[in-house]
A = this chain, B = another copy of it.
Amino acid sequence: MPADEDDATQPGLTRDALAQAALRVLEREGLAGLSMRKVAAEVGVKAASLYWHVRNKEELLDLLNDALMADAEAPPRSGDWRTQLRGYCQRYRAHLLGRRDAAKVVAGRLAPGPHLLRLMEDQLDRLREAGFSPADSAMISYLLGAYVQGFVLQEQSPMAAAETAGAGRREVADAAAERFRALPVAEFPNLVAMADDLTGPDLDARFGFGLERILDGLAALLPPDRR
């Protein structure tokens, strides 16, 4: 009977191998298409066998959540605090955007995995070094996380929808702009007038804009000589 499916069947199944398999299934099928049965098949095993390694799907998603963060990198430790913090947020966004449905997996998961903890630790360290108080540093970390995750969640979901349909990123934005323009002008004058501003496809610029506003606000917390 032919046995080997693709890979790590050799050394027996590890939780780590499961996480990697889940990662591949996520990339291929999206979060909605990620099922126990498919992950099991990915490692060459039947669905029920997964429950030996994992309590339930929720726990598998925790593993997946951490695996998604495994190769996230902190920005170089050079430049002022603002440069470093900006680097953090932009890398985080790019990282999430680069993996299918990553924002949906990450968002609202209660416990950060070890890889994310490592990043948080480093980020807090830099915040302290920049001169923020411990309490402020913690809140800032939370603030930045909420912004980046919220932003990516909104920009990544339409991409997922677009994959379902045939369209690309550009078409989705155009369709959205069209919907705004089609609104009754009497009732929604601003939405109609700003349709292009609201739906413009340059999400990088929109993300950067918000980020700079936040950084401006953070700078005001520091004594003038440390800004």
- B residues near A188, Cβ cutoff 8 Å: 117-118, 121
**A107–B105 CA distance with the chains assembled, in angstroms:** 13
Q: Does A217 contact B (CB under 8 A)?
A: yes
Which residues of the other chain, B, contact A149 by a CB distance below 8 angstroms? 150, 153-154
Min CB distance A129 to B, Å, is: 10
The answer to whether B146 and A210 have CB atoms under 8 Å apart is yes
Q: In the docked arrangement, what's the CA distance between A108 and B153, Å?
A: 5
Which one, A40-48, A78-86, A191-199, is touching chain B?
A191-199
B146 touches A151 (CB 8 A): yes
Decide yes or no: A194 and B161 within 8 Å by CB, A108-B154, A215-B217 being known contacts: no
Within the complex, which residue of B134, B146, B193, B212 is in contact with A147, where a contact is CB–CB below 8 Å? B146
A13 within 8 A of B: no
CB closest residue in chain B, given A209 = B139
Using C-beta atoms within 8 Å of the partner chain, give the interface range for chain A: 35 or more
Nearest residue, chain B, Cβ from A108: B157
Residues 101-119 of A, flagged 1 when their CB comes within 8 A of B and 0 if not, give 0011001111100000110
Asked whether A216 is an interface residue with its Cβ less than 8 Å from the other chain, the reply is yes
Q: Is the interface of A mostly helix, strand, loop or mixed?
A: helix
The answer to whether A156 and B108 touch across the interface, beta carbons within 8 angstroms, is yes
Q: Does A130 contact B (CB under 8 A)?
A: no
For residue A213, CB closer than 8 A to chain B, the reply is yes
Q: Nearest chain-B residue to A183 (Cβ)?
A: B117
* Inter-chain contact A190/B139, CB cutoff 8 Å: no
Which residues of chain B have C-beta atoms less than 8 A from A140's C-beta? 213
Measured CB to CB, the closest approach of chain B to A57, in angstroms, equals 11
A220 nearest CB neighbor, chain B only: B216
Q: How far is the CB of A131 from chain B (nearest CB, A)?
A: 15
Query: In the complex where A145-B150, A147-B146 touch, is A108 in contact with B117 (Cβ < 8 A)?
Result: no
Contacts of A213 in B (CB 8 A): 140, 143, 214, 217-218, 220-221
Q: Mark A150-169, 1 if CB is under 8 A from B, else 0.
A: 11011011100100000000
Min Cβ gap A52→B in Å is 23
User: Please, how many angstroms separate the alpha-carbon atoms of A152 and B219 in the complex?
Assistant: 25
Determine how close the nearest CB of chain B comes to the CB of A190; give it in whole angstroms. Answer: 4
